Structure 1
């Protein structure tokens, strides 16, 4: 199970431990509704061979006042602990923390229990898991029905749920996956620009709190830039606002219209008690080629005896379909299948049937050129990048063209989901990086090498770092296919590789370009960047600028025993819209290493103006 509550799953190691941590309130009304049976059902998802970090959940008590999520995460990381998920309970001075396995959980319990932090002695105990959202919601509805009460409160807008449900499914799914579909595009851009403006205003406050030496410069910036830490350039729109997604992930489940084995998008999240799926036929961000593959695949699975996988009962087989398309008219389809206890011979027969259907059968016209089969088990982590993909039919890769260059894309490789808007994004990165023939570029979280390769002809050398092995292989092939010899790529965690690479680079004209996942860069990477005094400029591409706030702050904070090297400061920022019809966008921030003599000159200039 990949997700239950609060976007993650958290818990203890067995139902026996659950019973030890059930509160008295959980055992009230004993004898009325077989509470022991209800309790077992509520926590069924932590049994059997299911993936859930609910099994490895602890409660940390007596936390210091006024700490935030990131404070606790940094505290745990400092002591070599790697939490999977953290839920801070605010003013109640405790937090729930989950881990990926028992070893890490037990290590954390041993290390943290009795430890002092900001004058508080911490205590740790095993924590009770949260109830399965679907079963919990169903139980609430049954209790409400027995008591003659409505199961849900009336929405704040005054419209009751029955009226809400009367909206056509096409409207409901549009609201769920493209919430800005009925907002004029200019207004969408204004809202996104406003979001980034808010991030820069918050960053100004964070810099002021963490680096007093920057206050004179910061005062000037805030005066000139509407309380922001740097100028915000006008947002750059996406060249196309519909059918732009070149990668779509579709779940498989019971349709909201009652049709079984439906391929599409969920109307709501599992934690909200909903598993209903709606076809993507009416969504405006999915290209027609992908919709055709979905339709044909749906027809195929409805002819098979295999049921859809149920996140409630953990039975069933069909789980997900991922479709990747390209401007070169190639299509990759990846089928996610839970084999349960099917014999290997039966699975091989199924793969042969899939191949026949998409190569010479009714699905041939969908145009699939690469067909993959991925086995996903109960204990499979939400991150499926490490799972082997079995090529069933067609080519191993698809290819894309971007900025006049050619790129090979594997099943697991990262590639920006809006190709035309990615060209806008990478062009802006190239403009801001201020490169010349003596420059060395460090491309961190480089994926298939798109950014570094697009800049390679303008610089002396490009060094890329990427975690996904398949993406690194693609990047190497892509560099060769585009006739580049000054590019090298390294596979591994950025926090492990980056410090060594920085020490090996002797260039005095060194620029880093980072395009990390949503959570941002590991703190070790930021510390390595700060220590590399020859690294004077950094372009940060953030798909979630709010989530990257810690990275931004650490780049700018005052030097200390932990954070060595002169700080950076933001020079300018810009939003680029890669995700029309949604509130998401990419933000680019240009950071430059602080020159204290220049900073003093800025302050003197301001004092002269004020005097």
Structure 2
């Protein structure tokens, strides 16, 4: 293997010169590879056996590595992960963007490489994912129905990897998860069958804040008397839980945003801080999943924005308002715009919690809201913060930004490939002044990148 490409795959070249993208390999490995896709100009495969390991390889620390589908880079030292992520950002911005770029600043690594997440969702399933070795060691009757509580196996909607210890989130996460499994198996409670859309236990969402508060939301298909027993047992055995909830989900999908979340114990939310800003996190709230690194990401965004106290800042894709609120001390006014109405309600509440009268939030499409009449009422933007989803900004919004012509734009991206495409579209009016990668998710190939654009 020669080097890394996007999505955490290694690159090799076949004898005919065709590029081979290999999952599960490290640059420097000599490996036996199963080719899964063979196209005219490239091929894709999976490493079956590493014949000679790379000098960079380390032993993964998780017993579920290579099976659950998460933390795919545990076999790489963290310093090497950062090195390859820096290369990934550089490659994607230059090969896709084709615009003039400044030197890319060194990646901001995460202070925590384990237990860095504040939220995890585990799934109950009647069907546990079994490895070939487990299948070979078991009889047909034994493997027919083996319940699991953990993460969906990669590419499988119905089978779940039974997770005993997850290193992504601090305790009492594993204690809660394993206790729920133990109760369910002892009581013979039905795990969900994702093929038949039947069963009772569906999901559990656990949030652990840096304040020490712990939220649990147990999601079941319908109400039954054992629910109270499970919740009471959780409270007795895990006194760290400060906010306990349950949700009845009879639907065919796992989303709960259109459902009622019932508070069983506690105030119904937990609190989190970014610097000295206080945020309310309810069961349906979105919040950056790596709290301490989100703080670093927002500090970089604030630095790039260069606020002096006189600027009107437009925070697009503002979500629950966390970036705008974080920048609020340096701004004359914060205008947040977000398409999801529930998120805007959370943003308004978070601004109220922090006593911010100059932060205003509006629900709707930016292209519809940001009209001349809106600018006349609220002021034209001096700085625009945009933090779009992985798909990047809609071209309609890019055209709107070109019309708005704010002096500065800070583009926070969770996908440098789509960011590169958008920078090319904005190039007619904006030049890129600074670029800063940020690692929010150690042991994965995901990478954030912050770009500062200035009007030409």
**Shorter-chain TM-score: what band?**
0.7 to 0.9
Does the residue aligned with 1:520 lie in a helix, a strand or coil? coil
* 1:552-563 matched pairs, under 5 angstroms: 552-556=423-427, 558=428
1:262 alignment counterpart:
148
Going from structure 1 to structure 2, the CA distance change for 1:384 and 1:530 (only over 3 Å counts) comes to farther
Answering whether residue 447 of structure 2 is matched by residue 571 of structure 1, we say no
* 1:46-61 matched pairs, under 5 angstroms: none
* 1:497-536 matched pairs, under 5 angstroms: 497-499=369-371, 503-504=375-376, 507=379, 510-533=382-405, 535-536=406-407
Answering whether residue 246 of structure 2 is matched by residue 373 of structure 1, we say yes
Distance (whole Å) between structure 2 residues aligned to residue 284 and residue 183 of structure 1? 16
2:71 alignment counterpart:
178
Going from structure 1 to structure 2, the CA distance change for 1:379 and 1:285 (only over 3 Å counts) comes to closer
Between structures 1 and 2, the one with greater helix share: 1
- 1:331 Cα shift? 1.1
Distance (whole Å) between structure 2 residues aligned to residue 317 and residue 547 of structure 1? 40
Distance (whole Å) between structure 2 residues aligned to residue 252 and residue 305 of structure 1? 13
The answer to whether the 8 A contact 1:355-1:393 is kept is no
Does the residue aligned with 2:74 lie in a helix, a strand or coil? coil
Distance (whole Å) between structure 2 residues aligned to residue 392 and residue 248 of structure 1? 20
Write the deviation string for residues 310-342 of structure 1: whole angstroms up to 9, x where unpaired: 223322222221111101111111222223xxx
Which structure: larger Rg? Answer: 1
Distance (whole Å) between structure 2 residues aligned to residue 261 and residue 499 of structure 1? 54
The answer to whether the 8 A contact 1:261-1:301 is kept is no
Going from structure 1 to structure 2, the CA distance change for 1:579 and 1:157 (only over 3 Å counts) comes to same
* 1:381-392 matched pairs, under 5 angstroms: 383-392=255-264
TM-score by length of 2: 0.77
Which of 161, 171, 178 is matched with 1:277 structurally?
161
Between structures 1 and 2, the one with greater strand share: 2
1:537 alignment counterpart:
408
Does the residue aligned with 2:172 lie in a helix, a strand or coil? helix
* 1:396-407 matched pairs, under 5 angstroms: 396-407=268-279
- 1:465 Cα shift? 1.9
Identify unmatched segments of 5+ residues in structure 1. Answer: 1-89, 92-153, 161-166, 208-220, 222-228, 340-346, 559-566, 595-611
Distance (whole Å) between structure 2 residues aligned to residue 329 and residue 169 of structure 1? 24
Going from structure 1 to structure 2, the CA distance change for 1:469 and 1:309 (only over 3 Å counts) comes to same
2:448 alignment counterpart:
586
Going from structure 1 to structure 2, the CA distance change for 1:477 and 1:168 (only over 3 Å counts) comes to closer
Write the deviation string for residues 7-30 of structure 1: whole angstroms up to 9, x where unpaired: xxxxxxxxxxxxxxxxxxxxxxxx
Going from structure 1 to structure 2, the CA distance change for 1:504 and 1:387 (only over 3 Å counts) comes to farther
1:197 alignment counterpart:
90
1:434 alignment counterpart:
306
Greater RCO, 1 or 2 (C-alpha within 8 Å, sep 6+): 2
The answer to whether the 8 A contact 1:318-1:337 is kept is yes
The answer to whether the 8 A contact 1:328-1:399 is kept is yes
TM-score by length of 1: 0.59
